[in-house]
A and B are shown apart, each in its own frame.
Chain A
């Protein structure tokens, strides 16, 4: 009984994102997942709630968001005149990476043009990345 529960929970953790143990139904590809989120944040009249909701949902997944999703989210912050959320998004990415220290520098590297264009400072540039 205990072994069954252990094996079942282990299998559920191994299923990829956006797929569950349905006996039917398509598994979404990573590209489809990414496009869905880029579209979500690209809504021209996105409101502050939708931005927060989107980010909180995205952060709940077992992945670090792709730079193109983050780019779309940062542009949504620009439309909402919300610099605080833009910097917070960068902090969230670093936190999601956890002990995988190579992820955050890569994401910043990919986002550098967007950060420059939108005038967003990184937490490191502001000195708020240290306690």
Chain B
């Protein structure tokens, strides 16, 4: 009972041909999923917050709350 000759060449190339596209695919998919699940919503949230942000109004509210040291509330 003698063993037949197996394939002995190109074993790594064969493995990589299978695994490399998967590796790149997983990496790229992960990056895309992070982009659309995390960074884009975050950017939208910031954009929405600042779309109608009135800096002067916010400043006046903070001033009245007395949190500043350099500016006292109006009328004091």
Contact = CB atoms under 8 A, between A and B. Distances in A.
Interface in B19-48: 20-21, 24, 28
Contact-residue size bin, chain B (C-beta under 8 Å from the other chain): 10 to 19
Interface residues of A, number: 21
Interface of A: 2, 6, 9-10, 13-14, 16-17, 30, 62-66, 98, 100, 102-103, 105-106, 109
B8 A63 contact: yes
Nearest to A105: B3
B5 A17 contact: no
A64 B11 contact: yes
B3 A100 contact: no
Nearest to B8: A64
Interface of B: 2-13, 16-17, 20-21, 24, 28
23 contacts: A10-B16, A10-B17, A10-B21, A13-B12, A13-B13, A13-B20, A16-B10, A17-B9, A62-B12, A62-B13, A63-B9, A63-B11, A64-B8, A64-B11, A65-B8, A100-B6, A100-B7, A100-B11, A103-B6, A103-B8, A106-B3, A109-B2, A109-B3
Given A13-B13, A105-B3, A109-B2, A66 B20 contact: no
Nearest to A17: B9
Contact of B16 (A13, A65, A105): A13
A10 to B, nearest CB: 6
